[in-house]
């Protein structure tokens, strides 16, 4: 919004008066009024933008409830309390670590291209460019990455390991990545004012790479080092489904995540009161925010429907769990380019994301990789596809609106913008895989060597709710839990046509006192 400025010397020549003193006084009075209006408009703009960002932060934080419900429904009932507690832990431990270190490493400008170095513990905060609402929003993103990782290592991980990895991920690993691609000082950021990577920088608008790939790759290493759950593969190496205990919780969690994604993607604009061009028209950043919500919806819904029919053809039935995972895979993929692509392109994104998830799940089964929530495949695999998708389908006009000030910036390859943006996106995929592997891999390996990572075989068989958390979440009969069964079972067969003898006397069951 342009500022309203006025000085008395500007108005005096325009005022006809017999008295120069009166003209000056009148001009001063008018300028004072203009200045007051300008200040009030500026205050209103900041208030509206901060309210919008706070509301978006609340939506993203509500995704933690979605993660908790999704995780709880996807594990067996004997581990429900454990997985829900880890989701609470991700938010709580992540808040302290991100407050003390994470935010400074991510956005502590001025800094170098690798890591931030100011605002530890929110010192000298707020500033002219950032307020507390921005910190809250970025914290909600950080704990989302940690929540993704917890799904990969569910049902077999010690509680202390969650504390250590969650604090390390949100306090160091994730913030460094977000600095690279989102901070104005980051070496690959699209918001840099000079020395852009390939003349473009990386376009990862809401975090297909920064959030989803980081959480997914971290979970991949945790699950690989821990190994599969007991009973996940039989002695012949064949895959055995260890089904979650509640499809209802999975669906509830999916809808909560869907709702929160409208803060995750559209909220990443950070402000809403911003006109494009000369302003004064019906089209502005508020329109781009609405378009981003539409592209997010199209990608998720397309992925859900593609998964529905694809799995029906592959396995012969309609599976709501697969549909929910497909929906989330579409959301994870569109998160990178949601603000710079057309809605029709988002449909392509969701369609391919569905097959990426199906393909990675097939590969995981062949490699005997066990991820109870398919988190590495969904967030890591679909997140990587989302980055490539942006490099292919980013639209010139939208790129220039969202990332202004750099005329001639490259855009999507398939949209006529050349291959530079796609090259930058590939670089992002490679460096995220390398960085997370170099940091989280050794951490999980060290925890495993110190016997702090995986629980004992007895605890895993009995369930962590009983052995580690004082009792089950609720009374249940898990008849399909194969970890309780021996290698083979013999079942007694009762006669089906037996009739009671006439001399038998039926007795009511008695109670021993």
- Dig out the tokens for 193 from the structure: 């004012």
**pLDDT of res. 500:** 47
CA 128-130-134 angle, to 5 degrees, is 160
**pLDDT of res. 477:** 57
- Dig out the tokens for 226 from the structure: 């821990």
Contact by Cβ (8 Å): 178, 400:
no
In a domain, 484, yes or no: no
Upper half-sphere CA count for residue 208 (Cβ side, 13 Å) = 36
> In whole angstroms, how far apart are CA 56 and each of 106, 159, 397?
19, 31, 25
Cis before 126? omega within 30: yes
Phi, psi values for residue 275, rounded to 5°? -90, 155
Contact by Cβ (8 Å): 329, 382:
yes
Contact by Cβ (8 Å): 100, 177:
no
Contact by Cβ (8 Å): 363, 344:
no
> To which residue do tokens 């009166």 refer?
22
**pLDDT of res. 366:** 93
In a domain, 248, yes or no: yes
In a domain, 57, yes or no: no
In a domain, 499, yes or no: no
Cis before 272? omega within 30: no
In a domain, 502, yes or no: no
Q: Is 402 helix (H, G, I), strand (E, B) or coil?
A: helix
The model's pLDDT over 117-162, given as tens digits with 9 standing for 90+, comes to 999 999 888 888 889 999 999 999 999 999 999 999 999 999 899 9
Question: Rounded to an integer, what distance in angstroms lies between the CA atom of residue 38 and that of residue 448?
Answer: 61
Question: Rounded to an integer, what distance in angstroms lies between the CA atom of residue 475 and that of residue 81?
Answer: 12
> In whole angstroms, how far apart are CA 224 and each of 141, 152, 153, 357, 492?
25, 9, 9, 18, 40
- Where does 350-434 show beta strands of DSSP type E? none
- Dig out the tokens for 255 from the structure: 């809808």
Upper half-sphere CA count for residue 185 (Cβ side, 13 Å) = 17
Task: Give the closest residue to 294 by CA, choosing from 357, 356, 349, 354.
Answer: 349
**pLDDT of res. 497:** 52
The pTM score is: 0.86
Rg (CA), the chain: 28
Which CATH number does the domain housing residue 101 bear?
1.10.3430.10
Question: Rounded to an integer, what distance in angstroms lies between the CA atom of residue 297 and that of residue 300?
Answer: 5
Contact by Cβ (8 Å): 322, 304:
no
- What is the domain extent for residue 324? 65-120+137-275+294-469
CA-CA-CA-CA torsion sign (320, 325, 330, 334): positive
Per the rule left: phi > 0, alpha: psi between -120 and 50, beta: everything else, 498 is: beta
Burial class (CB in 10 A: 0-12, 13-18, 19+), 203: buried
> To which residue do tokens 């999916």 refer?
254
**pLDDT of res. 251:** 97
**pLDDT of res. 44:** 86
In a domain, 29, yes or no: no
Give the residues across from 454 on adjacent strands: 157
In a domain, 182, yes or no: yes
Count how many domains the chain has.
1
Q: List, as one string, the DSSP characters of 185-249.
A: T-TTBTT-SSS-GGGT-B--SS-IIIIIIHHHHHHHHHHHHH-PPTTSB-TT--B-----S-HHH
Instruction: Count the Cβ atoms, other than its own, within 10 Å of residue 46.
Output: 13
CA-CA-CA-CA torsion sign (296, 134, 177, 194): positive
The model's pLDDT over 371-387, given as tens digits with 9 standing for 90+, comes to 999 999 999 999 999 99
**pLDDT of res. 288:** 95
Low-confidence residues of the chain, pLDDT below 70? 1-27, 29-30, 278-280, 475-513
In a domain, 159, yes or no: yes
């Amino acid at each position: 919004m342009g500022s309203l400025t006025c000085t008395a010397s500007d108005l005096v020549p325009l005022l006809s008066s017999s008295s120069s003193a009166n003209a000056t006084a009148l001009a001063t009075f008018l300028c004072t009024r203009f200045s007051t209006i300008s200040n009030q408009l500026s205050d209103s703009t900041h208030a509206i933008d901060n309210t919008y960002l706070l509301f978006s932060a609340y939506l993203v934080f509500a995704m933690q409830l979605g993660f908790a419900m999704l995780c709880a429904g996807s594990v067996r009932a004997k581990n429900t309390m454990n997985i829900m507690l880890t989701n609470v832990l991700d938010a709580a431990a992540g808040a302290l670590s991100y407050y003390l270190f994470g935010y400074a490493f991510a956005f502590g400008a001025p800094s170098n291209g690798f890591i931030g170095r100011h605002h530890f513990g929110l010192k000298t905060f707020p500033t002219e460019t950032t307020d507390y609402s921005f910190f809250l929003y970025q914290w909600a993103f950080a704990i989302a990455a940690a929540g993704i990782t917890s799904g990969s290592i569910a049902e077999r991980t010690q509680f202390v390991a969650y504390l250590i990895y969650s604090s390390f991920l949100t306090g160091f690993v994730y913030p460094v990545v977000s600095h690279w691609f989102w901070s104005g000082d980051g070496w690959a950021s699209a918001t840099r004012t000079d020395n852009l990577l390939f003349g473009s920088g990386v376009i990862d608008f809401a975090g297909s790479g920064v959030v989803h790939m980081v959480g997914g790759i971290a979970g991949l290493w945790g699950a690989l080092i821990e190994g599969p759950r007991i009973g996940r593969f039989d002695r012949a190496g064949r895959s055995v489904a260890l089904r979650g205990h509640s499809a209802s919780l999975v669906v509830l969690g999916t809808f909560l995540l869907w709702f929160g994604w409208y803060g995750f993607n559209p909220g990443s604009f950070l402000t809403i009161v911003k006109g494009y061009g000369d302003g004064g028209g019906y089209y502005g950043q508020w329109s781009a925010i609405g378009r981003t919500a539409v592209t997010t919806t199209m990608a998720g819904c397309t992925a859900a429907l593609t998964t529905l029919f694809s799995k029906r053809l592959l396995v012969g039935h309609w599976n709501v769990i697969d549909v929910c995972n497909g929906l989330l895979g579409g959301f994870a993929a569109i998160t990178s380019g949601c603000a710079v692509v057309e809605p029709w392109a988002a449909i392509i994104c969701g369609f391919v994301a569905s097959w990426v998830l199906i393909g990675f799940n097939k590969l995981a089964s062949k490699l005997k990789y066990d991820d109870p929530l398919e988190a590495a495949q969904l967030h890591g695999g679909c997140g990587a596809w989302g980055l490539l998708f942006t490099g292919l389908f980013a639209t010139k006009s939208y790129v220039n609106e969202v990332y202004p000030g750099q005329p001639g910036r490259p855009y999507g390859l398939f949209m006529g913008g050349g291959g530079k943006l796609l090259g930058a996106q590939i670089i992002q995929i490679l460096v995220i895989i390398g960085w997370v592997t170099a940091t989280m891999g050794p951490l999980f390996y060290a925890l495993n060597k110190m016997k702090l990572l995986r629980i004992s075989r007895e605890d895993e068989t009995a369930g962590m709710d009983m052995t580690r958390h004082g009792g089950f979440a609720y009374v249940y009969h898990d008849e399909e839990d194969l970890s309780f069964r021996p290698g083979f079972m013999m079942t007694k067969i009762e006669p089906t046509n037996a009739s009671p003898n006439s001399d038998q006397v039926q007795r009511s069951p008695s109670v021993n006192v």
